[in-house]
Amino acid sequence: MKRRNFIKNASLTGVGIAVGSSLAGCNEPAKKENESEVAINKSNSAYIPVVIATWNVKQSTSKAWETIQNGGSALDAVEQGCRVEEADEKGQSVGKGGLPDREGHVTLDACVMNQHGDCGAVVYLKDITHAVSVARKVMEETPHVMLAGDGAKQFALSQGFQPENLLTEASKTAWEKWKIEAKYKPIINIENHDTIGMLAIDSKGDISGACTTSGLAYKMAGRVGDSPIIGSGLYVDNEIGACVATGLGEEVVKTVGSFLVVELMRQGKTPQQACEEAIGRIVNKPNSNYKDFQVGYIALNKKGETGYFAIHEGFTMTKYQDGVNEQLQSDFFNKA
């Protein structure tokens, strides 16, 4: 939908819009005077519905957008969007085809959080492609918020999920090659695509989020990252906004990153300012070796304004808003 039509429709349907004019992200290059409004609206506009996701995942945001357009909730949207990446065997950091731990096992972490503050997560899940949907089932069908390992798998099977071998030939070959030197060094910006974290505001204005990953390649067996940890990899507060993280999970957990971003927005920061401050908490630690790892945050607030920031160059956010599905390059801390 073109912006003008959207505004017209919004005023007819009562969908609220509030175009953010004073909220230009720091990642915006300087604009000529007559360009500024358009540019700001493009990058930091405040329309709903909106879908944002970590990395370059236009097919996923497209699926999420379509889900909302068909009357789905924000939770439906983020689940459906994440499933696209989970099913894509070519993506070696999510779902089927994910790179394994150092023993050759693909283990998945995922979580969801909805507008009521309910959440569900699975950690160290094996043999089930759609970890995000299992996480949703944990939220909806159990009295718990998190299931791990064999218990998570048994639960998934009991809910009708089919077991599959997640280690594709390509990932097996990569693992065998890695074993020759067996050096564990998380790579910054793997294939310009990584863990998928997705946030959405639906047509009613409700916010939900999801995050799904195979975690860091060649991690120790049993390792769990930030992605399924509510408050670290993902946090949603329907009054305020939401945030999701990607990158070196250990560093995100140590600063409870996504909760921090939402709390900073509660204190009045824009999503952009909040993401930047949360990255600051990581890089400004006296002993931080941030040059060796990446962390990126994306966030949105209740109005539909968005923000995104990373430690290093190369992080991207995909945003579907106002009928436009686009990949946006993130600003970053390490300019040296």
Which residues participate in catalysis according to the annotation?
Answer: 195
Shortest CB 84 distance to ligand SD4, Å:
17
Shortest CB 295 distance to ligand SD4, Å:
8
Count interface residues toward ligand SD4 (CB under 6 A): 12
Among 97, 247, 271, 304, the residue binding ligand SD4 under the rule CB under 6 A is 247
Q: Per rule CB under 6 A, is residue 86 in the interface with ligand SD4?
A: no
Residues 252-287: b if buried by 16+ CB within 10 A, e if exposed? bbebbbbbbbbbbbeeebbbbbbbbbbbebbeeeee
Distances (CA, A) of 137 to 20, 163, 240, 258: 36, 16, 25, 22
Among 49, 72, 249, 307, the residue binding ligand SD4 under the rule CB under 6 A is 249
Q: Is the peptide bond before 49 cis (omega within 30 degrees of 0)?
A: yes
Shortest CB 121 distance to ligand SD4, Å:
13
Shortest CB 246 distance to ligand SD4, Å:
4
Write out the E strands in 55-148: 108-113, 119-125, 146-148
Q: 58-69 vs 74-87: helix axis angle to the nearest 10?
A: 150
Output 40 or 108, the one with its CB closest to ligand SD4. 108
Which listed range, 38-46, 177-185, 242-250, 300-308, lies at the site for ligand SD4 (CB under 6 A)? 242-250
Q: Are 225 and 217 in contact (CB under 8 A)?
A: no
Output 24 or 260, the one with its CB closest to ligand SD4. 260
Shortest CB 210 distance to ligand SD4, Å:
14
Q: Per rule CB under 6 A, is residue 216 in the interface with ligand SD4?
A: yes
Output 241 or 257, the one with its CB closest to ligand SD4. 257
Q: Per rule CB under 6 A, is residue 212 in the interface with ligand SD4?
A: no
Tokens of 152: 């998570």
Among 20, 225, 257, 271, the residue binding ligand SD4 under the rule CB under 6 A is 225
Q: 131-141 vs 149-158: helix axis angle to the nearest 10?
A: 80
Q: Per rule CB under 6 A, is residue 227 in the interface with ligand SD4?
A: yes
Site for ligand SD4 in 169-198 (CB under 6 A): 194-195
Q: Per rule CB under 6 A, is residue 127 in the interface with ligand SD4?
A: no
Residue 107: strand, helix, or coil: coil
What are the beta bridge partners of residue 325?
A: 320
Output 92 or 270, the one with its CB closest to ligand SD4. 92
Note the Cα 208 to chain centre separation in Å.
Answer: 11
Q: Per rule CB under 6 A, is residue 215 in the interface with ligand SD4?
A: yes
Distances (CA, A) of 57 to 9, 33, 162: 28, 32, 25
Among 41, 43, 129, 213, the residue binding ligand SD4 under the rule CB under 6 A is 213
Shortest CB 292 distance to ligand SD4, Å:
13
Q: Are 229 and 250 in contact (CB under 8 A)?
A: no
Residue 6: strand, helix, or coil: helix
What is the binding site for ligand SD4 (CB under 6 A)? 194-195, 213, 215-216, 225-227, 246-249
